[in-house]
């Protein structure tokens, strides 16, 4: 009996988290105007999801802030809260997991706090197992 309980506890500990996808991938670059925010929603269906999104950002623009709601970032996105773009494109990976908090939506966003310049972005889903 004890062996059965231990085996079932072990199986529960190894349950993997499903992959989540942003629902507004960019087939081509889009702009975020000065003082505006570009939001990438992650439908969570009421449970945790792993997310891997690659974004190509173009400027110059800045400062640019990363915003997260019900999303726990990892890697670069967890370490950087604000950055500035020069004339070179910047390719970034947004990795993390959604957090289940009732019916509050999960998303990440780029806030363009540049007073005059447009931030261009193109973001698309990647396979979370490739991170």
In a domain, 10, yes or no: no
The verdict on residue 8 lying in a domain is no
Cα separation, 105 vs 113, in Å, equals 23
Strand partners, 4: none
pLDDT of residue 1 exceeding 50, the answer is: no
The mean pLDDT of the chain is: 83
Domain-embedded: residue 115 = yes
CATH number where 92 lies: 2.60.120
Residue 83 within a domain:
yes
Full-model pTM: 0.81
35 or 46: which carries more pLDDT confidence?
35
Q: Please check whether residue 3 lies inside any domain of the structure.
A: no
Q: Does the residue 7 lie in any domain?
A: no
Residue 54's domain spans which residues? Answer: 17-130
Per residue in 72-105, pLDDT (tens digit) is 999 999 999 999 999 999 999 999 998 876 667 8
Q: How many folded domains does the chain comprise?
A: 1
Q: Which residues contact 111 (CB under 8 A, 6 or more apart)?
A: 32, 36, 37, 64, 65, 66, 67
Q: Looking at the domain assignment, is residue 81 inside a domain?
A: yes
State how far the Cα of 45 lies from the Cα of 32, in Å rounded to an integer.
28
């Amino acid at each position: 009996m004890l062996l059965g309980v231990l085996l079932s506890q072990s199986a529960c500990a190894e349950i993997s988290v499903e992959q989540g996808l942003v629902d507004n991938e960019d087939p081509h670059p889009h702009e975020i105007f000065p003082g505006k925010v570009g939001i990438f929603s992650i439908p969570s269906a009421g449970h945790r999801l792993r997310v891997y999104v690659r974004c190509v950002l173009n400027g110059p623009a800045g400062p640019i802030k990363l915003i997260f709601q019900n999303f726990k970032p990892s890697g670069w996105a967890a370490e950087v809260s604000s950055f500035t773009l020069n004339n070179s494109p910047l390719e970034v990976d947004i990795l993390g997991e959604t957090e289940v908090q009732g019916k509050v939506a999960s998303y990440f966003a780029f806030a363009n706090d540049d007073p005059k310049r447009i931030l261009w972005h193109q973001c698309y889903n990647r396979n979370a197992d490739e991170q």
